[in-house]
Structure 1
């Protein structure tokens, strides 16, 4: 009986989503891959580019993934929420790899509104229902506060992985 393999893939413009991805990786002993965007997104003009890409539902040009999601039992994908939507780099990743996911989970960081819409969009882009999903306010991440939603998310994921291992062992 082997331990399920977990991959955490994320994009983070400001570092907030990276903090959440790193915390998840530590708890789940997961491999991590950061999506690298080829567009300039720093500063005021970069922020404006993010908003426009979000409104227009554009995909970003991203560096090809180094890890193959088909080699993992569970892929967790994380995004910041941009103007109520998935970030353009995560949109590109999900569309490129949607046929390679066995099981998925989604998480997002957000400052205002739109987290639910972003999670629904991730579901649509991945073409697969998530085993779990989580939304965490950026302010809570910046303060280092462990939220109830994060703990609930981890609990659901751990139960899913335990169930997955039990099913594999039974076969």
Structure 2
């Protein structure tokens, strides 16, 4: 599934926001950041059934085993973008299995990256650390948002992250002008 953000003034930079969301929390954050950056938006579609208690248990086991899952091939090519922002829920102190798979499958083509995660209690630092290791490249910025903050206001929760990414993209444009 892909959509185009409509807010912001980032017409010169091509940004893609990619995310997986089992419960909808990470989706809220992804839509907010995509809107603020006028970015394309793509949801990672997992082939596993993650609905209900059985899906929760399957997700927990995949996270504990650090096991990638089978995902639907991406519809948008990361190599067509200047920046890819990737979002994941935190599962048992780790990156979600579908995002793990996405990073493994796309890491050779990834341009600059930024990461965000949604979490219930703890484990966000470890999830972001795993995402950095899987991407095999420096990270422009990172953001961690509790599920409670996301549901109270996704735009407010992501505002500082969006500003950091806009500043980075502006610096990229300045360097292009100099070069």
Smaller-chain TM-score bracket: over 0.9
Task: Determine the structure 2 residue equivalent to 1:32.
Answer: 41
Task: Determine the structure 2 residue equivalent to 1:161.
Answer: 169
Task: Determine the structure 1 residue equivalent to 2:67.
Answer: 58
Distance 2:147 2:63 in 1: 18
Aligned match for 1:12, one of 17, 21, 28: 21
SS at match of 1:99: coil
Task: Determine the structure 2 residue equivalent to 1:108.
Answer: 117
Task: Determine the structure 2 residue equivalent to 1:119.
Answer: 128
Distance 2:24 2:130 in 1: 22
Deviates more, 1:137-146 or 1:87-96: 137-146
Task: Determine the structure 1 residue equivalent to 2:178.
Answer: 170
Deviates more, 1:98-107 or 1:161-170: 161-170
- Is residue 72 of structure 1 aligned with residue 87 of structure 2? no
Distance 2:161 2:45 in 1: 25
Distance 1:65 1:90 in 2: 12
TM-score normalized with structure 1 length: 0.95
Aligned-residue offset at 1:142: 1.4
Aligned match for 1:92, one of 90, 98, 101: 101
Distance 1:104 1:25 in 2: 14
SS at match of 2:111: coil
Distance 2:131 2:14 in 1: 21
Q: Which runs of 4+ in 1 moved over 2 A?
A: none
Distance 2:138 2:50 in 1: 30
TM-score normalized with structure 2 length: 0.91
Give unmatched runs, 5+ long, in structure 2: 1-10
SS at match of 2:107: helix
How many residues align? The count is 168
Task: Determine the structure 2 residue equivalent to 1:41.
Answer: 50
Distance 2:130 2:139 in 1: 12
Distance 2:15 2:164 in 1: 14
